[in-house]
């Protein structure tokens, strides 16, 4: 009852950032975790183009009907469709105080389009957090990962080992080392990431929107440093 009363209070304003927050960083840099935490701290939705595609297809919207056959054929959904979904999503009232994206944009073209859409929707300044990680540390994090076969619980043999090697603490299931988490595969992924992302980093840097975040520390320290950065940016607004 108390919560419902508070929600009707017209004086109460949601805490927000009033801007787009974008996380860039290689696989294993902890983007997803940090994006979730930022979303929670500032009461912002954590957006994903994958969710948008699913929602549009399930809802049978015009964009969903265009995307569906392409996805069924395993083809890439073109930027016009993806950007249309993004624009539709950030026009929803829950995005009024800003939103958090990780995994999008992926190309400079998408970044330019997203900036244009943000301006049109009165999001004045985008903040791009570039999560910088030492490649050797990243390799250790990724090759050390073990996943619980039944519950999906995640361990790391170096940083967060299970009590008994190869066994999940939570449910006693077998922990597996995915073939995707081996060194040659990861090296390939990191290289592909760099080739794809460098132009995006250069673009945002050129626009003065890029803030580098040292993502080497443990997750809590990284969250604290990101929060400080965002609070400072919001205070300067």
In angstroms, what is the minimal distance from the CB of 113 to Zn ion? 41
d(CA 87, CA 8): 29
Look at residue 38 and give its three-state secondary structure. Answer: helix
Compute CA 129 distance to the chain's CA centroid, rounded to the nearest angstrom: 10
d(CA 148, CA 3): 38
Q: At 175, which helix (H) or strand (E)?
A: strand 175-176
In angstroms, what is the minimal distance from the CB of 102 to Zn ion? 25
d(CA 29, CA 176): 21
Q: Does 205 bind Zn ion (CB under 5 A)?
A: no
| Catalytic residue list contains 189 | yes
In angstroms, what is the minimal distance from the CB of 145 to Zn ion? 14
- Please tell me which residue in 41, 140, 189, 205 is annotated as part of the active site: 189
Residues in 151-190 that interact with Zn ion by CB under 5 A:
151, 153, 168, 170-171, 173
Q: At 63, which helix (H) or strand (E)?
A: helix 62-72
Q: Kindly give, in sequence order, each residue whose CB lies less than 8 Å from that of residue 84, ignoring residues fewer than 6 positions away.
A: 63
In angstroms, what is the minimal distance from the CB of 233 to Zn ion? 39
| Catalytic residue list contains 106 | yes
- Please tell me which residue in 41, 106, 140, 205 is annotated as part of the active site: 106
Is the backbone of residue 197 left (phi > 0), alpha (psi -120 to 50) or beta? alpha
Mark the segment that binds Zn ion (CB under 5 A) among 51-59, 61-69, 149-157, 194-202.
149-157
Nearest CB to Zn ion, comparing residues 111 and 148: 148
- Please tell me which residue in 178, 187, 228, 232 is annotated as part of the active site: 178
Q: How many CA atoms lie within 13 A of 97 on its CB side?
A: 16
Sheet holding 145-148, edge to edge: 154-156, 145-148, 175-176
In angstroms, what is the minimal distance from the CB of 178 to Zn ion? 15
| Catalytic residue list contains 31 | yes
Nearest CB to Zn ion, comparing residues 68 and 153: 153
- Please tell me which residue in 31, 37, 141, 146 is annotated as part of the active site: 31
Binding-site size for Zn ion (CB under 5 A) equals: 7
Nearest CB to Zn ion, comparing residues 112 and 170: 170
Binding site for Zn ion (CB under 5 A): 148, 151, 153, 168, 170-171, 173
| Catalytic machinery residues | 31, 106, 145, 178, 189
């Amino acid at each position: 009852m108390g919560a419902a009363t508070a929600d009707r209070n017209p004086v109460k304003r949601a805490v927000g950032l009033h801007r787009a927050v974008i996380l860039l960083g290689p696989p294993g840099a902890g983007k997803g975790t940090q994006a979730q935490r930022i979303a929670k701290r500032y009461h912002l939705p954590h957006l994903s183009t994958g969710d948008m595609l699913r929602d549009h297809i399930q809802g049978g919207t015009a964009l969903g009907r265009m995307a569906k056959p392409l996805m069924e054929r395993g083809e890439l959904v073109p930027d016009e469709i993806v950007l249309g979904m993004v624009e539709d999503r950030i026009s929803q009232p829950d995005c009024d105080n800003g939103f958090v994206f990780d995994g999008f944009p992926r190309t400079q073209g998408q970044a330019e389009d997203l900036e244009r859409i943000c301006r049109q929707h009165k999001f004045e300044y985008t903040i791009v957090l570039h999560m910088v990680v030492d490649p050797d540390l990243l390799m250790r994090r990724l090759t050390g990962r073990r996943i619980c076969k039944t519950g999906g619980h995640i361990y790391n043999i170096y940083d967060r080992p299970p009590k008994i090697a190869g066994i999940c603490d939570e449910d006693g299931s077998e922990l597996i080392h995915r073939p995707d988490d081996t060194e040659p595969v990861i090296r390939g992924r990191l290289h592909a990431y760099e080739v794809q992302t460098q132009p995006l980093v250069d673009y945002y840097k050129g626009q003065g929107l890029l803030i580098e975040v040292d993502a080497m520390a443990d997750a809590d320290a990284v969250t604290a440093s990101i929060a400080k950065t965002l609070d400072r940016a919001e205070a300067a607004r």
